Amino acid sequence: MSRHGDFDAVRKDIAAQLQKPGYDDGSAGPVFVRLAWHSSGTYDAESDTGGSNGAGMRYEAEGGDPANAGLQHGRAFLEPIKEKHPWITYSDLWTLAGVVAIKELGGPDIPWQGGRTDLVDDSKVPPRGRLPDGALGADHLRFIFNRMGFNDQEIVALAGGHNLGRCHGDRSGFEGPWVTNPTRFSNSFFKLLLQLDWKPRKLATGMTQFVYEDPDAEEDEEPLMMLPTDMALKTDPGFLPWVQRYAEDKELFFDHFAKVFAKLVELGIKRDAQGNVINTDNQLGGYVSAPKKSNVPTGPTKGQPRARL
Ligand code: HEM
């Protein structure tokens, strides 16, 4: 048990949780980044609803959304940390885990502040359908991300999250990693998107993705992949110049990514001059953390959970 508010102690324990031999590519980092992003990416600026405050994925209405399939592994990996630091809210823990994972996997320092609260029931869980669908194109990306308040440059920078991790057939229906080292944050995603010859391929799951067949690959080597939404970054004239700049200039990408990810995890959070969160839930309840859930992953994934806990 750490001192209430000792986020540095939590950061250290998140970093120590990242190594996961036997799970995916050996790291929980990518799924932490996706957890942080999906907990925040429900924000709707017009109605000022959704966003990371609340940690609604603890409820079936949000956690059971097929768009969130697989994130139960990330949440379960974080349960031992919640157990050790019971004062932290889930909404702070999940966003901080993404920020720590990006840094530990070689990415930039991302400004992060605590203070989010957890919903006490599912009445304020945002409706499903606010997260992007990888099977669609540029119009869809703008529709989804403009709703959160992001412009073209910010959309491309955010999509650089696909330098990490992989798609899982049993979660999204897509399959494979975007880059050759999916546990190292870099600008490879943008370079590969521009350089390689991507060919559409229909998968057994019925989904179509883009793959690169490396003629020199070993027989059992997995081909790299791109989602239709990733390909749209290359074909759309508003997105392409940013893909080119980020492919050429890793420092610029890291700088822009840090800014936009910091903005993402703050969507819907209101703070006073001292940085205290003043969302209504907080005013009524203070810094309220929800009780610990279970260490066992539960969620919409079909078949056996891959996580070893
Ligand atoms: C631009 C719209 C986006 C679409 C359509 C999209 C779609 C997807 C899909 C289909 C997967 C595979 C899920 C699975 O099968 O496990 C995935 C994984 C991932 N996404 Fe995105 N995503 C988008 C934006 C982002 C953003 C903004 C970030 C973070 C900044 C991000 C970070 C990740 C990461 C790290 C993974 C790998 C997770 C893992 O390895 O378990 N994505 N995304």
Domain-by-domain residue ranges, the chain? 7-131+262-266, 138-259
CA of 7 to the centre of ligand 1 (A): 26
Q: Is the CB of 134 under 6 A from ligand 1?
A: yes
| 105-116 per-residue burial string, b: 16 or more CB within 10 A, e: under 16 | bebbebebbbbb
Instruction: Spell out the alpha helix ranges (H) of 21-70.
Output: 29-40, 60-63
Q: Is the CB of 172 under 6 A from ligand 1?
A: yes
Residues facing 226 on adjacent strands: 210
**Annotation marks residue 85 as catalytic:** no
**Annotation marks residue 140 as catalytic:** no
CA of 294 to the centre of ligand 1 (A): 25
CA of 164 to the centre of ligand 1 (A): 9
Average pLDDT of each block of 10 consecutive residues along the chain (309 residues)?
Answer: 92 98 97 98 96 96 97 97 96 98 98 95 94 98 98 98 98 97 98 98 96 89 96 98 98 98 97 90 74 68 40
How far apart, in whole angstroms, are the C-alpha atoms of residue 86 and residue 90? 10
Q: What is the per-residue pLDDT for 289?
A: 83
Q: 138-259 in CATH: which number?
A: 1.10.420.10
Q: What is the per-residue pLDDT for 307?
A: 37
- Residue carrying structure tokens 């991790």: 165
How far apart, in whole angstroms, are the C-alpha atoms of residue 97 and residue 92? 8
Tokens in use for 114? 């605590």
How far apart, in whole angstroms, are the C-alpha atoms of residue 83 and residue 77? 11
Looking at ligand 1, which residue's alpha carbon is closest to its atom 3? Answer: 132
Question: Choosing from 112, 178, 198, 242, which is the catalytic residue?
Answer: 178
Q: Does pTM top 0.85 for this prediction?
A: yes
CA of 41 to the centre of ligand 1 (A): 11
Q: How many Cα neighbours within 13 Å face the side chain of 225?
A: 24
Chain centroid to CA 292: 22
CATH architecture designation of domain 7-131+262-266? Orthogonal Bundle (1.10)
- Strand bridging mode 166-167 / 176-177: antiparallel
